[in-house]
Every structure is written in structure tokens, then in C-alpha cells.
Homo-oligomer: A and B are copies of this chain.
């Protein structure tokens, strides 16, 4: 790549992230799971959930907000339900452990509903939904986390951009939807700031709670469809946080103003074979995908895309040509590398 940035192979990027995390106290297997998650997001073009998070992870580790030594603990365990206590360890470690257990339970009981609480940043929850769907199950994940989005009508950040991810198997691998309940992502704001572009109206508020289209003034995200997006975020806080006895928003917004970096996830895994043969499900899923792909298009649309299809394509390209790292991020990674003596990733 040009002077504007580098391209790094995914294996090499994974090696780099792993070594940095180990230097900050992570065990080898934990570092591997976290690195895989960041690289997965980068491969699929979700760069906001990729290696760009590493400098922040390092800060959180240094401050003790991520506890590198914490191991997930099973604190409630029945045939079709469990709770994993993350203990403010690495989010992906707790959620991947939950995904493996949820699949195992769903294969026995037909369905499993799990709560994973007190994690730190889990990365894109679509990763876990896809992982579950690769194992013959349908998955629904709902997340709760830091306060970044206005509740409909509020002039302050008062909800998480709580994501929902849904994935099912198909003949061409999992089909996975992964979306925030905000109108746009924080990543889009950062991009608009960098390029100087304006944001669409109705997407953000200033720090003072006034509408703006200026990315430099944007501080608070607005919910998707007003009461719909904030209604979903509110209910995900109920299902993922309140049900797990780990509320985030009430303590953050109440007089205590408790805002430790934390997150909770609700996870549903459904064994397809409980309801019908997996092969038949895949046949009908493929038929649905095929009719949707073939729909007549609106003016201005070259193609109809399935959930996750753009990410699948980006992954194919980036597995070959590497993951682009913008110059600014490269410099940040160099600082992180220097502190710990880790070798920067080989690049082109």
C-alpha cells in the first residue's frame, strides 16, 4: 500500500495482537481468542471492531478495567440455561466459552438461553452468532454496553447502541445479520470526521443535545427509527443486564454515575435438527436467499445483498490481499509495540 497506510496479512496481524496482549498479562489461549476476534472483524470490513480497538484495550488493561487474569465462571447452570460471570476479563473469552456451551446444550435440549455478564468489550457479536450457525444451530444475540446513544426524546446519551445479531445455517455457510440499534455507527462518525463529510440529518446530537450534521460536533448517537431503536436497546438492557442482575444503564444514569467499562450479552442457541433435518432447513434457506437475490431492483441499486454478504466478500479479498491499516492507526500501533518491545507486523 501507499504512504497513506499498510496492508497486513491476517495471520501476521493476529500474531501482533496476541503478543501485545500477552505482554499485558493475557494467557496464550485468551490472547489467541481476542486476537481472532479483532482480526475477524477486520477481515470482514468491520474495522471499527478490529485492531483499531487494540490501543484502547491496552489502556484498559493498564488501568485494570480489563482484568487480564480473570477467568469466566459458571454461576448458574441448568439443562437449557446458564449464566457466565465474566469478572471484567476479556469479553471474547467469556462469550466464546458461552457459545460453545450453548451449542452443546442446544444439541441436548433443543434450545439454550444464556447470559454472559460483566464482560469487557466483546467485539462484534455477529462473530459468535456465525460461529453457532456453523455448528448447525440458529443464534440470536443481544448486547448491552456503554452509554452512547440517546433514548428517544432524550438530549443525553442514555442507552447503549445495543446490537442484535441473528444467524442461521445455509447451503453456502451461515447467513448472519449483525446490526446496532443506532441509525449510524460510531465508525461512520470517525470516518466523516476524517474525510470532512457531513452526516445525514437525524443521526446525531451535539454534546449539548442539539441536532447536527457536523461530524466534529457529533457526540451522541440517535436511535434507529426513534422509539423503535431505543425501545430495542431498552429491552436488550432488560434481557441481557437486568435479568443477569448486572444493570448498566440505571447505575450509569442515576446519582451514582457508575460508568466502569462493562457489557452483558444474552444468547439464544436453537438446534435446527430439533425441528427439522438440517439439510431440509438449508434447502429452504437457500431458496429464500435465491428469490431475494433475484428480486427486481430499485433505481440506483446494482445488486440485492443478503445479511452479511458484503462482509463475506470483503473477507475473501482481505484473506488474499491483507488488511489495510491507515497511517494514523499504524502510528498508534507503533507506540503500543514500542512500549512492550513487540515486533510490528510485516506489511506490504
Task: Using CB atoms, name the residue of chain B closest to A310.
Answer: B227
- Which of A3-11, A42-50, A267-275, A316-324 sits within the interface? A267-275
**A101 CB within 8 Å of chain B:** no
A207-236 interface (Cβ within 8 A of B)? 209-210, 224-225, 227-229, 231-232, 234-235
Q: How many copies does the complex hold?
A: 2
Cross-chain contact of A295 among B151, B224, B228 (Cβ < 8 A): B151
Over the window 49-84 of chain A, the binary record of Cβ atoms lying under 8 Å from chain B Cβ atoms (1 yes, 0 no) is 000000000000000000000000000101111010
From known contacts A254-B287, A288-B238, A288-B250, infer whether A281 and B243 are also in contact, taking CB-CB under 8 Å: yes
Which of chain B's residues have a CB closer than 8 A to the CB of A150? 298
Nearest residue in B to A156 (C-beta to C-beta)? Answer: B296
Pick the contact of A111 from B83, B113, B164 — CB < 8 Å? B113
Closest residue to A78 on the B side, CB-wise? B110
Q: Is chain A's interface secondary structure helix, strand, loop, or mixed overall? A: mixed
Q: Give every chain B residue within 8 A of A295 (Cβ-Cβ).
A: 151, 153-156, 158, 253
Q: Which of A143-163 contact B (CB under 8 A)?
A: 150-156, 158
**A332: CB under 8 A from chain B?**
no
Closest chain B residue to A247, Cβ basis: B284
Tell whether, in the assembled complex, residue A81 and residue B111 are in contact, meaning their CB atoms are under 8 Å apart. yes
What are 11 of the A-B contact pairs (CB < 8 Å)?
Answer: A80-B109, A80-B110, A140-B140, A155-B295, A164-B232, A177-B232, A224-B225, A227-B305, A243-B276, A253-B292, A268-B268
Counting from the closest, the 3 A-B pairs by CB-CB distance are A81-B110, A153-B301, A154-B295
